[in-house]
Structure 1
Amino acid sequence: MDELTRVRDAAPEWLRHQNSAAETMQEILSKRKRTLTTEMQDMAAYLDVVG
């Protein structure tokens, strides 16, 4: 999450079009056993990932 957040801050439009970023976010969501943090919810929405 930290790395995704840093990249979004540095290059938001570039990150939005990276399949690997969406795949990474999907993996985070699938392995998360607790409620998602606000940061995770925001990033999933930003990358258009449903989890």
Structure 2
Amino acid sequence: MDELTRAREAAPQWLRHQNGAAETMQEILGKRKRTLTTEMREMADHLGVVG
């Protein structure tokens, strides 16, 4: 999440079009056992990932 957050802060439009970022977020969502943090929900929304 830290790397995705830094990338979003540096280049939000670029990150939105990166398949690897979306795949990474999908993995994070799939492995998460607790409720998502606000940061995770915002990143998933930014990347268009549904968990």
TM range (shorter): over 0.9
TM-score (norm: length of structure 2): 0.99
TM-score (norm: length of structure 1): 0.99
Please identify runs of 4+ aligned residues in structure 1 that moved more than 2 A.
none
Q: What residue is the counterpart of 1:17 in the other structure?
A: 17
1:3-48: per-residue Cα shift (whole Å, max 9, x none)? 0000000011110000000000000000000000000000000000
Q: Does 1:48 align with 2:51?
A: no
Q: Distance in 2 between matches of 1:12 and 1:38?
A: 17
Q: Which structure 1 residue ranges, 5 or more long, are not aligned?
A: none
Note the aligned Cα RMSD (angstroms): 0.3
Q: Which structure 2 residue ranges, 5 or more long, are not aligned?
A: none
Q: Distance in 2 between matches of 1:40 and 1:30?
A: 12
Q: Distance in 2 between matches of 1:33 and 1:12?
A: 27
